[in-house]
């Protein structure tokens, strides 16, 4: 019933661009994580920024894995294909984000409560001239912040074009990274000025942000695995496509009643349309033509099963909006 074209040709160029950006992100994040590792010292804020960057690797990896796996055709062992692999990876990553954010938050708050003063001493990275490690920390933080914000800005429009939620979440995280960077920098500058608490406060702020990111992503991942109704790429409202398909069906003269349910599989939608035909005349032919027409409505509609029924059993409206 379905052809395996997941992206229309005009979107292909955007996909290539997105893949290139995500590879760039991975290479860049690895260098940033390495740089931060060597300048961690005993700063909590640095540790938090470091962890955030490590976890920032998961969305690009998830995206790249997904962009390969989704081209794999369904087989007899996995008749629905491999789309869900990404959702599972995403679930794991968001749980990790939540747990690590929580740990750093606890660690920073308890350091504040114990009035722990972070020591930052000298290092000799360039031959014989010793430098205060704090200066190197600021440099490393700048390197781990500015390019991320730029990458995020470039990814966001692509995510919308490709209807890709992983890419969108990644772009959002990158764009929000300036906050982490500036908070961590203020923490280090605070230590420099003799404000011992600045570092732990900055780390707490960053870890709250990590926890929030984790919770947000966890919700999206769980929604996805539970086959929630499709939403637009920024998750702000329901996607109008199911309603549109239903209306198209209702407009067909052989259809007495219709109901459509879709779920998201990665960046595409699959689902069923139930129709109550007015009579049995040429039912198979009518359904085939309807399917062809509906599949032409939107590239994101990947697979639609039309089932003829005598009566439609409609789902109850959810209690919460």
Partner 1 sequence: MGSPGAAGPVRRGRAALAAAVLLALAAAGCGIPRDPERTLDRVQGGTLRAGITASEPWTTLEGGRPGGVEVELVERFAGELGARVEWVDGSEADLMAALEVRELDLVVGGLTADTPWQAKAAITRSYATTRVVVAVPASQPPPGDIAGMRVAVEAGSDAAGILEDKTDAVPVRVADVTKVKDSPVVVDEWLLDNLGLRDTGVHLRKDKHVMAAPLGENAFLVRLERFLIAHQAEVPALLDAAAGR
* Binding window for partner 1 (CB under 8 A); candidates: 21-29, 185-193, 267-275, 277-285: 185-193
Among 77, 124, 310, 314, binds partner 1 (CB under 8 A): 124
By three-state DSSP, how is residue 232 classified? coil
Does 82 engage in binding with partner 1 (CB under 8 A)? no
Does 117 engage in binding with partner 1 (CB under 8 A)? yes
Count other Cβ atoms within 10 Å, centred on residue 129.
8
Question: Do the Cβ atoms of 27 and 64 come closer than 8 Å?
Answer: no
Long-range contacts formed by 37-42: CB under 8 A, 24+ apart: 38/140, 39/133, 39/136, 39/137, 39/139, 39/140, 41/118, 41/120, 41/121, 41/133, 41/134, 41/137, 42/118, 42/119, 42/120
Among 103, 143, 196, 299, binds partner 1 (CB under 8 A): 196
Report the residue number, 118 or 277, with the smaller CB distance to partner 1. Answer: 118
Does 216 engage in binding with partner 1 (CB under 8 A)? yes
Among 107, 116, 229, 248, binds partner 1 (CB under 8 A): 116
- β-bridge mates for residue 268, sequence order: 265
* Binding window for partner 1 (CB under 8 A); candidates: 65-73, 167-175, 248-256, 308-316: 167-175
User: Tokens 């005993």 appear where?
Assistant: 42
* Binding window for partner 1 (CB under 8 A); candidates: 86-94, 130-138, 257-265, 271-279: 130-138
Compute CA distances 207 → 50, 86, 87, whole Å: 11, 25, 24
Among 3, 193, 226, 318, binds partner 1 (CB under 8 A): 193
For the record, the structure tokens of 75 come out as 């087989």
φ, ψ at 197 (rounded to 5°): -80, -15
Compute CA distances 261 → 16, 213, 275, whole Å: 31, 29, 12
Among 9, 79, 127, 194, binds partner 1 (CB under 8 A): 194
Report the residue number, 69 or 123, with the smaller CB distance to partner 1. Answer: 123
Residues lying near partner 1 in the complex (CB under 8 A) are found at 116-124, 130, 132, 134-135, 138, 156, 168-169, 172, 175, 178, 182, 185-186, 189, 191-196, 216, 220, 234-236
């Amino acid at each position: 019933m379905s052809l395996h074209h997941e992206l229309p040709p005009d979107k292909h160029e955007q996909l290539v661009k997105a893949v290139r950006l995500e590879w760039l992100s991975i290479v860049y994040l690895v260098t940033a994580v390495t740089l931060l590792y060597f300048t961690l010292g005993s700063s909590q804020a640095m540790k938090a920024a470091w962890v955030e960057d490590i976890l920032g690797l998961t969305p690009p990896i998830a995206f790249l894995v997904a962009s390969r796996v989704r081209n794999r055709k369904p087989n007899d062992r996995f008749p629905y294909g491999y789309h869900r692999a990404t959702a599972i990876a995403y679930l794991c990553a968001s749980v990790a984000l939540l747990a690590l954010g929580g740990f750093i938050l606890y660690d920073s708050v308890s350091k504040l409560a114990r009035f722990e003063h972070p020591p930052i001493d000298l290092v000799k990275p360039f031959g014989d001239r010793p430098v205060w490690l704090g200066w190197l920390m600021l440099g490393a933080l700048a390197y781990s912040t500015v390019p991320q914000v730029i990458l995020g800005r470039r990814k966001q429009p692509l995510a919308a074009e490709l209807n890709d939620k992983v890419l969108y979440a990644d772009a959002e995280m990158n764009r929000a990274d300036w906050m982490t960077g500036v908070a961590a920098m203020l923490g280090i500058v605070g230590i420099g000025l003799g404000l011992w608490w600045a570092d732990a406060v900055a780390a707490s702020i960053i870890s709250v942000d990590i926890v929030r990111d984790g919770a947000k992503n966890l919700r999206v991942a769980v929604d996805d695995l539970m086959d929630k109704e499709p939403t637009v790429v920024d998750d702000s409202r329901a996607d109008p496509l199911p309603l549109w398909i239903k209306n198209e069906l209702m407009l067909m003269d052989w259809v007495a009643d219709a109901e459509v349910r879709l779920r998201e599989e990665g960046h595409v939608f699959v689902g069923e349309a139930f129709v109550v035909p007015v009579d049995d005349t040429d039912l198979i032919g009518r359904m085939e033509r309807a399917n062809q027409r509906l599949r032409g409505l939107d590239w994101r509609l990947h697979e639609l099963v039309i089932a003829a029924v005598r009566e439609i059993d409609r789902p109850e409206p959810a209690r919460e909006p």
